[in-house]
Structure 1
């Protein structure tokens, strides 16, 4: 590609430069900027990277706070279903006990996912126009409105509660998409797995805190460079503790040129065209795989499931808390193992492990004995440890890394949409009444998902953006991603 000279530097508040100027330091013959930058990033160990790039690391953790709401909403939904007073206020009497009607339970459980679908797609468009920080701020304002509606909803006003959950789902989809894209773009390669994986950890009510802190958070340097605010991007890199700012700014600019060479459009349709199709399918499938192993069934409704299995309300609550606690432990271990063992093997082992546990739950449900109920409970706890130590956080890592940087916000948004769409299941006593036998269904689906993972999930560990672009453009097999040396 013919080299082009860059325009003179502009101050922080200047108007955006044209695309030609924004990527003025484009490729030159024999130029090895990307190789030098990649070696510099990979030369730093994980702990050293946290210390050196502590500002980037902390801001990633801060912007992941919004993800707490996603997990909080799921946990509260299952917890409320197991609360006698809630079932009395929003349900009806069935065989001597209060039960939420199946149609309302399905609506309460799915409406947030529906809102999340629209939120995930919408934020891809919003973030590309107003930035990552501003899109999180919009999500925070929407969330506050939704929480207000739900908090002051009177008893038996199921429709009003449903509206509140729908609006909140919209903000949740925006939170997850924005946080994942933000963490992927401001983190150096050695911290990318940890910061994007921590989004899942936060899933385990802080919109006001986000609004207060967002004005102080740095914008994504990738977003600024792509919009032409080169000096602002340089200032952000300096603030994040990047050692060689000029080198990394040039890396960003040249990667933008590379991606513009592959595709000049940034529409949602572009995510499904040509080589981007494969990247988008992988990004979507990691969330489909999360759902088909039964995460909503086993974890999201664990407290309610324990009650259906025959445990008392107090025991069910304690077991539900145990599932959450052990999940946090699993997620913390994943933040170490994601860099130690890589994305592909950890995700594959997680799929196999969760599949086996689902079959265990299914077999345990054959008997109505107390020992069988405890076996189901133990399997549920094991599932929480395996899932949160692998598939849960790794899903956010992989889908953030495989998407093109140019299309990341849109690909991430579509991924959250698919994640929400898949999160709808039925275990209510006045309908199918499958209870633990649903484990057979998720076990079978998980087995198919494990096979798909083996053939199609690539290893993205320690790969810079331009390396991933090159590997996908060369149509390298997913099983060989971790073995190929990129020759620039």
Structure 2
């Protein structure tokens, strides 16, 4: 029988921390969360470098065809190039559940690093016009990227105290944006070269980060949740002491992990992928997955993923298009920092829902500006692109990574997170396939008018989010378990009162 008093004491202890207190005590845990999130930087770098390299003249020359005297990449090849990583990410995210449960969070990251290094070698040494080889490199690297992001989210959720959980899981998105910023900066610096290194150097930069991760992994602490699940309670106690200091009540925190796992095992003895779709876990899986569907519904690939290429199609010179791309991602960094400051004050649900509203409005404004078809509106559209990224990165972007990590149960976290990354990659792949056909001059040629599509979809997504995204702020893992078990509606999660933890599991 679970020790409910231990859960009550641990919950009260976690609720007593403010973010500043938690950072002071758990500064080592905070630092290791940031380190393990370096892999997420590569996710953002790869996503952005795909769209950015399309604007590099020498890349279009070496891998495209000449039409009317100009090098052009077909929409079909663009779709394949940009969706290859998403396809790989689907398999990488899905495989994480098994890999991380067997080899631990550190082992999963180490495997991802080795796969990524091989994939980058393929991309860097791809000969001119060897398009299939480049696609294979992108596909294999995508597998590693899916594992990177899934591992970073699971790890941050499991080693962070309650007061820091929203900050560290949300920081995964900050690292993604930092990767996008780095990618745009590299493209700006190399894109005007007239040789193959204009696009090879951006690929080569990616080698730095797997090497850094591999060098630091032997010193990184393993997740105490994984250690307890493997029966290694003494090792878990040592990890917690290392992360927070020996002054902490180590036995109490190990007991909290052990008893929470036991409570979840009383609900479901197994932890297979099928369990994601059984009982109350189905609701948790849907919410964890839908936050990424809503990111795509809000038009993130349209506005941000193709921003540099879109600016060029709209008539901006290469130099200005590159600078605008860098500016877009710089604004994104600011937005993530704002989200980190206010995620515990305003809550997950509030920031996510209002982010959906803001993105839908900006999409409509971009579309209206595209109606006249005059180049005089280009700078106005560029300004709204910057505004969109600020709104997105304050709300939908980082909060998606917070919500999907928090709504999953401890027992199924690696599988829920991995499945959600699969959905994220699938949606990204669909967007990357469809959007070139909508934007390109040789296809639908809608340009900025695509904003009408994503504005409408974003409005629909806002309604869904209002009814189904719960507030997970200031809730321990066992408290979230009971609210899902009691089928509390999403709109009441924030105000729901749990008087006593012994009352939490009175049916156990």
Is 2:159–2:223's contact at 8 Å kept on the other side of the alignment? yes
The answer to whether structure 1 residue 482 and structure 2 residue 494 are counterparts is: yes
Measured in 2, the distance between the counterparts of 1:458 and 1:400 equals: 13
- Listed one character per residue, the Cα deviations across residues 18-70 of structure 1 (whole Å, up to 9, x for unaligned) are xxxxxxxx32xxx4211211111111111111111001100000000000001
- Asked whether 1:344 is paired with 2:349, we answer yes
Indicate whether 1:232 and 2:243 are aligned: no
Measure, in 2, the Cα distance between the counterparts of 1:347 and 1:456.
Answer: 12
Q: What residue in structure 1 maps to residue 200 of structure 2? A: none
1:91 counterpart = 2:64: yes
Q: Residues 366-381 of structure 1: matches in 2 within 5 Å? A: 366-381=371-386
Partner of 2:221: 218
Rounded Cα–Cα distance in structure 1 between residues aligned with 2:62 and 2:441 = 18
How far apart are residue 368 of structure 1 and its match? 2.3
1:42-441 residue pairs with structure 2 within 5 A? 42-203=15-176, 204=178, 205=206, 206-241=209-244, 243-423=248-428, 424-425=431-432, 426-427=435-436, 428-441=440-453
Gaps of 5+ in 2: 179-205, 502-508
Range with bigger deviation, 169-178 or 419-428: 419-428
Give the SS at the match of 2:244. coil
CA contact (8 A) 2:314 2:375 kept: no
Paired residues in the alignment total: 461
The alpha-carbon deviation at position 370 of structure 1 amounts to: 2.9
Distance 1:429 1:127 in 2: 45
- Distance in 2 (alpha carbons) for counterparts of 1:374 and 1:408: 44
Mapped to 2, the partners of 1:371 and 1:38 lie a distance apart of 58
Alpha-carbon separation, structure 2, partners of 1:328 and 1:264: 42
Corresponding residue for residue 8 of structure 1: none
SS in 2 for 1:399: helix
Summarize deviations over 1:160-181 as a string: whole Å, max 9, x none: 0000000000000000001100
Question: 1:109 and 1:363 mapped to 2: Cα distance?
Answer: 27
Question: 1:410-440: CA deviations, max 9, x gaps?
Answer: 0000100000100133233322222111111
Q: 1:234 Cα shift?
A: 0.6
| Equivalent-residue separation in structure 2 for 1:431 and 1:271 (angstroms) | 40
More helix per residue: 2
Q: What does residue 469 of structure 1 align with?
A: 481
User: Is contact 2:114-2:210 (8 Å) kept?
Assistant: yes
Counterpart residue number, 2:12? 39
User: Aligned partners of 1:420 and 1:172: how far apart in 2?
Assistant: 10
Counterpart position of 1:9: none
Q: Distance in 1 between matches of 2:67 and 2:402?
A: 44
Give 1:74 deviation, angstroms: 1.3
**Secondary structure of the equivalent of 1:256?**
helix
Matches of residues 450-461 of structure 1 in structure 2 within 5 Å? 450-461=462-473
In the alignment, the residues of structure 1 paired with residue 133 and residue 115 of structure 2 have an alpha-carbon distance, to the nearest angstrom, of 16
C-alpha distance in structure 1 between counterparts of 2:286 and 2:373, whole Å: 41
Q: Could you tell me how far apart the structure 1 residues matched to 2:298 and 2:54 are?
A: 22
SS for the counterpart of 2:493 is helix
The whole-number CA distance in structure 2 between the counterparts of 1:455 and 1:445 is: 16
State the superposition RMSD in angstroms: 1.0
